[in-house]
Amino acid sequence: MRDSNTEWERWGEIDPLYGVAAAKGRERGGKNPWSDAEFYERGQQHWQRFHPAWRRYGIDCRNCLEIGCGAGRITAQLAGVFAMVEAVDVSKGMIDYAVAHVTAPNVRFHLTDGTALPLESASITAVFSTHVFQHFDSIDQATLTFREIARVLAPGGSIMIHLPMYRWPVFHRAPMNSSTVYTRTWAPSAHGYCVLSSRAEWCVR
């Protein structure tokens, strides 16, 4: 059992909403604890920013795997876009909370051990995850998870995964790691975003 799994299981037991969205004063017993309505509305607000970016990249909406669904904040939104959603988490408390509050019939929740995904190879057309990889024990754990993602992802299927980064260049253009990777960034605004790409050409979106 990984330490991060143990911690996340504990968050699922004591305060699922704060565990997912840790903002000052929003914990149970805090000055302004999350209500269910506020929590799931926040998920809707986030998804409204995530979805257009993924749609521009290209999504096949037949089904979606959500890695680390937590209390179902984004799961509820995915259910409105994908024909079927497979939502996985390592915390029983989180899964129980999500099952009670996300009642869309096209969602299946799975409790996992965080190592193997309970899905057939090449059976998923889209994979989404947000604010999950930042809680992993190590980069090796991320690599193992990406390997599982690649296994279940169907050819042509796409992923959108939140991954905190450092050493990302700002306001310059420079080679990274190989001659095919260049960076160009600028200050994102509420109306746009920037992209680092491994493709030969650059896309400004």
Based on the shown chain and the rule CB under 8 A, indicate whether residue 144 belongs to the binding site for another protein. Answer: no
Residue 114 Cβ vs another protein, minimum distance, rounded to whole Å: 14
Residue 101 Cβ vs another protein, minimum distance, rounded to whole Å: 18
Closest to another protein by CB, 103 or 197: 197
Based on the shown chain and the rule CB under 8 A, indicate whether residue 120 belongs to the binding site for another protein. Answer: no
**Stretch of residues binding another protein (CB under 8 A), selected from 32-40, 63-71, 108-116, 178-186:** 178-186
Residue 98 Cβ vs another protein, minimum distance, rounded to whole Å: 18
Based on the shown chain and the rule CB under 8 A, indicate whether residue 103 belongs to the binding site for another protein. Answer: no
Residue 141 Cβ vs another protein, minimum distance, rounded to whole Å: 9
Q: Which of 53, 92, 103, 173 binds another protein (CB under 8 A)?
A: 53
Q: Per residue in 132-143, is it b (16+ CB within 10 Å) or e — as a string? A: bbeebeeeebbe
Report the C-alpha gap between 56 and 195 in whole angstroms: 12
Report the C-alpha gap between 72 and 56 in whole angstroms: 24
